[in-house]
Amino acid sequence: MTPGPNLQQLIDTIREDAGSDDVLDQLGAAAGTINELTSTSDAALGYFVDRARGAGKSWVEISAVLGVSKQAAHKRFADSWTAEAVLGHYTPRTKAVLDAAKDVARGLNHPFVGTEHLLLALYSQPEALATRVLVARGIAEEAVAEAVAPLSPAKGPSKDVEAALSAENPPYTRKAAHVLQGAVAEALVLGHNYVGTEHLLLAFYRDSASVATEVLTGLGLDETAAWADVRAALEEVTKAK
């Protein structure tokens, strides 16, 4: 295992970042650094927990590896998830996709937002990096909608639909919630301090049993290809700046 910085190295780094000999300036720098490290550590651990869940591992197995009770593991990594906890990192374009996902769900008369709605909502932002990746692969919105239909068929009109989707926090399915949370971890893997549509696209693959992942894979875009395409697209964006 690659060793992290020891205590003295961390102290030296904080002092350098503070840029001052004032003890309060150094304390403030220390607080900021520790908070950032804690947030990053939690996101990294959550990334691998979700990977384990996506691979079908139970909370009993996961809690045993973490050395905590099943209840403690579930509370930390499942029950504590809220949209507000991650949306602060999302770009305006990604937030627009989330809003569009509710419209997609309404169109199908679904009183929930699932991974299929998030995937279709990407097409509401044609300039988004993820959407450009899909289009470049020849995966059109119509093809995705056709593939989604038998897996998540439209329902009849219901008053419950509008009531559910008008709520401040729409009822995301467990798999969709993991995608939203997982997008933050995908951004972390790529060293980004924002969550774009490309991270949302990559997060679909965290659960191979989700509708979005099944549709994407069936249309020829597996996880390896998606990662390659996203990296290539990011390199093009960087070169264009």
In this structure, what token pair is assigned to residue 203?
């997060």
Burial of 50 per CB tally in 10 Å (0-12, 13-18, 19+): buried
> What does the pLDDT read at residue 95?
93
> What does the pLDDT read at residue 119?
98
- Residues 190-214: pLDDT tens digits? 888 889 999 999 999 988 889 999 9
Q: Which segments of the chain have a pLDDT < 50?
A: 80-84
> What does the pLDDT read at residue 152?
95
Nearest C-alpha neighbor of 102 from the set 111, 91, 92, 89: 111
> What does the pLDDT read at residue 193?
83
> What does the pLDDT read at residue 29?
86
- Residues 145-195: pLDDT tens digits? 999 999 999 988 877 777 777 766 678 898 898 888 888 888 888 888 889
Average pLDDT score over the chain: 85
Tell me how far apart the alpha carbons of residues 81 and 131 are, in angstroms, rounded to a whole number: 26
In this structure, what token pair is assigned to residue 31?
């607080």
In this structure, what token pair is assigned to residue 141?
């919105």
Q: Return the ∠ at Cα 66 (arms to 65 and 68), rounded to 5°.
A: 115
Architecture of domain 85-240: Orthogonal Bundle (1.10)
Q: Measured between alpha carbons, how far is residue 13 from residues 19, 86, 111, 149 in Å?
A: 10, 28, 50, 54
